[in-house]
Amino acid sequence: MLKLHTQEEWIERAKAVLPAGGFGNFDPGIIIGRGEGSRVWDEDGKEYVDYLIGSGPMLLGHGHPEVLEAVLEQLPRGMTFFTNNTAGIELAEEICRAVTCADQVRYVTSGGEADMYAIRLARAFTGRNKIMKFEGGYHGMSAEAQMSLAPAARVNFPQAVPDSAGIPDAVRAQMLIAPFNDLEFARSLIAEHHKEIAAIIVEPLQRIVPPVPGFLEGLRDLCTAHGIVLIFDEIVTGFRLDYGGAQERYGVVPDLCTLGKIIGGGFPLAAVAGRSDIMAHFDKSKVGADKWLMQLGTLSGNPVAAIAGLKTMEILRREGTYDHLRSLGHQLMNMQAEALNAAGIAHQIVGDPTLFDVLFTDKTIRTYRDTQDADTSMSASYNKALREDGVFKSSGKMYPCLALTRDDLDLTRAAVERAVSEGLHNK
């Protein structure tokens, strides 16, 4: 009889062949073996309600039958071609219908690629070099994006702090860092550097921190006044906060946006979308060789991912879908607030019902530095207790999905109450 490997054995095997024993994404101390609906199972067979959902893309849950059917129909027809394909064209059409800023779409494979190309596109369009981003904003793994993503040192703005080795000092010189939700600081920075700034890139919901009223609108006005490209990083928020993303939810239209996660239905797919005059820089025949932005990728617009994305988006368009998602999120927020309030534990539930987390602080959260002032040891204890009780989430986010059931919510409530009463109340 074939002996099955335990999770601990898999962890040891990973350590031999993977740096730090993992893929670099998540805690390497857990190996997920399968997912179905709202649940995942580790390699020892332990079952969890899944609030990680692949870091966001599995909004319908794992293995949605309609998505599986569409993918299985495509697979024997071909898995990738490196050419245009009908599914990719149809998906681009739907993105342009759904997303206000999107006149045209260019596919890539990952969200980090999309952000990198959006920054490069803004530079090609404006002829300027500097990029303004907000401290704590996550925009992938490019050299520009790895500036002041999670700085340990609190330097004076607008100085950039590299988060990774291997980034030349020359990149730092092209980055301007501002605090999120501080429009006055942004205004002063732009007044000083506007002739050099190609783009402002921002997560409209920064990680889990919502924009204060007027902040995104103010950025839009400043960019318009100074010919700066406004980029919304909607890798996370696209088709999650609303069908049209954060720009629909907040009523602010950027010049470019980046999309990922949900548009691939669980497969690797992302995109840059935006105004046709800016997107024209992907077309050498329109802008000439000097202003042309070269971009290609072996799997960009992959038909399997495009089919999965099309079916996912079709399901999301059905009546009541987003009301239901928000109802699930509100229930999850409320059950945690009730338990923590009853125990007298200072906390803030930060984010949107479609994406949020608990921070252990009594301080209003407006910026990255505010999030860092929260009690991280309390968060670690809370998340550890939840996982031990069958609730699976990341250390900084809780993603509701549409597959959640009443049983899932009941299990989560019980786990939250135990985590608060047994794990936190006496800390």
Query: Contact 251/232 with Cβ under 8 angstroms?
Result: no
In angstroms, rounded to a whole number, what is the distance separating the alpha carbons of residues 267 and 247? 24
SS (H, E, C) 172-232: HHCEEEECCCCHHHHHHHHHHHCCCEEEEEECCCECCECCCCCHHHHHHHHHHHHCCEEEE
Q: How far is Cα 338 from Cα 416, in angstroms, rounded to an integer? A: 10
| Active-site residue, selected from the candidate residues 51, 107, 117, 138 | 138
Contacts of 108 (CB under 8 A, 6+ apart): 114, 117, 270, 271, 272, 295, 297, 300
Separation of alpha carbons 199 and 164, rounded Å:
22
286 given a catalytic annotation: no
Q: Which of 130, 133, 261, 397 is catalytic?
A: 261
Tell me, yes or no, if 250 is annotated catalytic. no
Closest to 245 measured CA to CA, from 50, 419, 96, 67:
96
Contacts for 8 with CB less than 8 Å, ≥ 6 apart: none
Note the helical H segments in 52-129: 65-74, 86-98, 111-126
233 given a catalytic annotation: yes
Q: How far apart are CA 6 and CA 16, in angstroms?
A: 16
Question: From the candidates 233, 370, 389, 408, which is the catalytic residue?
Answer: 233
174: which 2 tokens?
């092209």
Catalytic residues: 138, 233, 261
